[in-house]
Amino acid sequence: MNFVWENTVIALIAIGILYFLLNKYAFGPLFSVMEKRRELVQQQLSEAAQTREQAAAYVEEQKSALQEARKEAYEIIEQSKQTSSKQATHLLQQAKDEATRMKDEAVRDIQSEKNKAVEQLRSEVGAVSVKIASKLIEKEVGEEKVQGELVDQYLKEVGGRS
């Protein structure tokens, strides 16, 4: 095996030409495509991350909205409960008042009717007894003064009994 320096020169020229050609026609475009793919993947990854973030934010927003709605609904229920109970109390009170008033009125009516009846009775009984008495006493008592005293005494006795 001889060392032929000419071969070295030829080999260097060959590899130089090959390097130049590959670099220009094959690897240059290939590397740029690979770089482009890397960028694409990077971009898609960042986009995905962004979308995920957005989704998370949206979910959070929805959650808070839901919470708010729930709170609001609770408040409404609470309020209506309060209103209804207040109204019920009010109605009850009104009814009670009405009942009391009607009862009082009735009692008053009864009282006044009774008084009226008593008065009427008293006057009627007076008149009747006077008539009876006058008929009875016409013969016995002549003097008008004695007559009146007797009637009054009699009436008092009757009124006290009644």
Partner 1 sequence: MHEAPVINLGGFHLDLSVLIMLVVTCAIVFVVAKLATRKLSVENPGKLQNFMEWAVEFVRNMISSTMDWKKGKPFLSLAMTMIMFIFVANMLGLPLGIVTEYHDAEKAKIFGQEITTVTSVLKEQHEEHPGEEAHAEVAWWKSPTADLSVTMGLALLVFVLSHGLGLFKNTKSYLKHYVQPYPFFLPINIIEQLSKLLTHGVRLFANIFAGEVLIGTIMTLAKASIFGAIFSIPLLMVWDGFSIFVGAIQSFVFVILMMVYIGQSIESHDEEHEH
Per CB under 8 A, 12 contacts partner 1 = yes
23 binds partner 1 (CB under 8 A): yes
CA distance 153 to 128: 15
Cβ 54 to partner 1, closest distance in Å?
25
Residue with smaller CB distance to partner 1, 5 or 135: 5
Q: Which is nearer to partner 1, 27 or 58 (CB)?
A: 27
Q: Should residue 45 be labelled a site residue for partner 1 when binding is judged by CB under 8 A?
A: no
Q: Residue 125's closest CA among 91, 100, 161?
A: 161
Q: How far apart are CA 61 and CA 54, in angstroms?
A: 10
Q: How many helices (H) and strands (E) does the chain have?
A: 3, 0
SS3 1: coil
Q: Which is nearer to partner 1, 23 or 120 (CB)?
A: 23
Q: Residue 33 class from Cβ within 10 Å (0-12 exposed, 13-18 middle, 19+ buried)?
A: exposed
Verify binding: residue 15, partner 1, rule CB under 8 A.
yes
Q: Which is nearer to partner 1, 6 or 140 (CB)?
A: 6
Residues that bind partner 1 (CB under 8 A): 1-12, 14-15, 17-19, 21-23, 25-31, 33-34, 36-37, 40
